[in-house]
Amino acid sequence: ETGVTQTPRHLVMGMTNKKSLKCEQHLGHNAMYWYKQSAKKPLELMFVYSLEERVENNSVPSRFSPECPNSSHLFLHLHTLQPEDSALYLCASSQTGQGSYEQYFGPGTRLTVT
């Protein structure tokens, strides 16, 4: 247990569906991240939030829409996805300011788009 939880753990959705991924951190951190992990590719940073403000958006298609209502919760809203969006989606949190900013990851959501 890293103190970061994600739901659901597995999700299968059609290309016309709308679904949301949820992440919650219990570590008192003030930054949260969404990553995509595909086979044989490095972790790809999608979005970063600090104190509920989005501070990084790495050219992610608009069919992915993040939401950070408070510093403990992060959502990723999905709509009209493509089969190539099938991947493991990882949420992470860290503290900003002084220090090493090491990230604590949730277990991930395994997404399959059919």
Where do contacts with other proteins occur on this chain (CB under 8 A)? 2, 4, 31, 40-43, 45, 48, 50, 55-56, 90, 94-96, 100-108
What six digits make up the tokens of 11? 């999700």
Q: How far apart, in Å, are the Cα atoms of 2 and each of 47, 57, 62, 80?
A: 20, 25, 30, 32
We find the least distance from the C-beta atom of residue 105 to other proteins, in angstroms, to be 4
Q: Which is nearer to other proteins, 64 or 103 (CB)?
A: 103
* Identity of the residue, 70 or 100, whose beta carbon is nearer to other proteins in the bound complex: 100
User: Given the complex with other proteins, which of 17 and 60 has the nearer CB atom?
Assistant: 60
Q: Under a CB-based contact definition with an 8 Å cutoff, are residues 2 and 92 in contact? A: no
Minimum separation from the CB atom of position 94 to other proteins (A): 6
What is the closest distance, in whole angstroms, from the C-beta atom of residue 16 to other proteins in the complex? 29
